[in-house]
Amino acid sequence: MKWNADLYDQKHAFVFQYGEEVLELLDAKPGEYILDLGCGTGHLTQQIKDKGAKVKGTDLSPDMIAQAKAKYPEIDFVVENAVDFFTDTPYDAVFSNAALHWILDQNGMMRSVYNSLKHGGRFVAEMGGKGNVARLIEATQLVLQNHGYHEQADAKMWYFPSIGEYTTKLEEHGFKVSYAVHYDRKTPLRDGDQGVAKWVTMFGAQYLETIPENEKQQILTEITQKLEPYYNEGGQWYADYKRLRFVAVK
């Protein structure tokens, strides 16, 4: 998937703004060496640096990393795959916000994170949890099926686990889970009734691959219509986010 880093910063700033709460859970200390895994355009990476930590930001998207480097040139940003990485200097902590649910090879990621941490190091993250944007996924798949786009409707982009499923997986990889919570977080969409289309275009682009532009707009309109009774609250639209937040220790 190719990310639009400008659109991400302009219309979907809530991704890193909500992540500021997870930074409190990280509680970065001066001198700690911390990895921001799936750092996006680097806003939270900079906030970790502001705490006095030495920080590295990695992301699979070259566009995101290029933007991060331009914004925060003093930080070490690298294009790196979360499922297969290593470090010569072990980290005190690995932090991740709104990135882990994009990783389908969770075993590879957990193995890499575990091996990169010092003994006693912590893995602190928030990701989409079970039921995340369930209404949006259901509406999108239904409209795509109705238009005959069965392959697109079956696209698997995300992994949204339950708290039991995910903590078990972390334990199987050697972590001790010291904190975990799964909660509802109704998330406002910008631009009113255009918010759904912009969300799908930004985060669910795989659903729209190879669909002609004129039909794509019709599909986005129909998805929006199906979601309006659930998402539109007096003119402000909200997405049905469910989040999973955890701290796991090596």
**Residue 191: predicted pLDDT:** 84
Exposure string of 20-35, with b = 16+ CB inside 10 Å and e = fewer, is eebbebbebeeebbbb
In sequence order, what are the residues at sequence separation of 6 or more whose Cβ sits closer than 8 angstroms to the Cβ of residue 174?
114, 250
Report the number of distinct structural domains present in the chain: 1
Mean pLDDT across 120-129: 98
Residue 155 confidence (pLDDT) above 50: yes
User: Do 81 and 22 meet the contact criterion of CB atoms below 8 Å apart?
Assistant: no
The amino acid at 84: D
For tokens 């979360």, what's the residue?
82
Residue 15 has pLDDT above 90, yes or no: no
Q: What is the mean pLDDT of the chain?
A: 92
pTM of this structure: 0.90
Mean pLDDT for the stretch of residues 118-136: 98
Q: Are 200 and 220 in contact (CB under 8 A)?
A: yes
Torsion of Cα atoms, 60 then 91 then 97 then 20, to 10°: -130
Q: Which of the four pLDDT bands, split at 50, 70 and 90, describes residue 20?
A: confident
pLDDT at site 168: 98
Q: Quickly tell me which residue has 């659903």 as its tokens.
A: 207
Q: What is the arithmetic mean of pLDDT over 27-34?
A: 98
Give me the CATH number covering residue 80.
3.40.50.150
Alpha-carbon distance of 55 to 61, in angstroms, equals: 18
- Tell me which of 6 and 145 has the higher pLDDT: 145
Contact between 22 and 14 (Cβ < 8 Å)? no
Run of H or E including 144: helix 134-146
Residue 50 phi, psi (nearest 5): -60, -20
93 forms beta bridges with 34, 122
Domain ranges, residue 73: 5-249
What are the residues whose beta carbons fall under 8 Å from the beta carbon of 13, sequence distance 6 or more?
A: none
- Evaluate the CA torsion angle 193, 195, 199, 201 in order and state its sign: positive
Mean pLDDT of 11-37: 80
Query: Residue 11's pLDDT is what?
Result: 41
pLDDT at 17: 58
Quick check: helix, strand or coil at residue 121?
strand
Q: What number of CA atoms fall less than 13 Å from residue 30's CA on the CB side?
A: 1
Q: How many CB atoms lie within 10 A of CB 132?
A: 24
What pLDDT, in 10s, does the model give residues 34-53?
999 999 999 999 999 999 99
Q: Which tens digit of pLDDT belongs to each residue from 166-225?
A: 999 999 999 999 999 999 999 999 888 899 999 999 899 999 999 999 999 999 999 999
- Among residues 7, 19, 49, the alpha carbon closest in space to that of 32 is found at 49
For the segment 53-105, what is each residue's pLDDT rounded down to a tens digit?
999 999 999 999 999 999 999 999 999 999 999 999 999 999 999 999 999 99
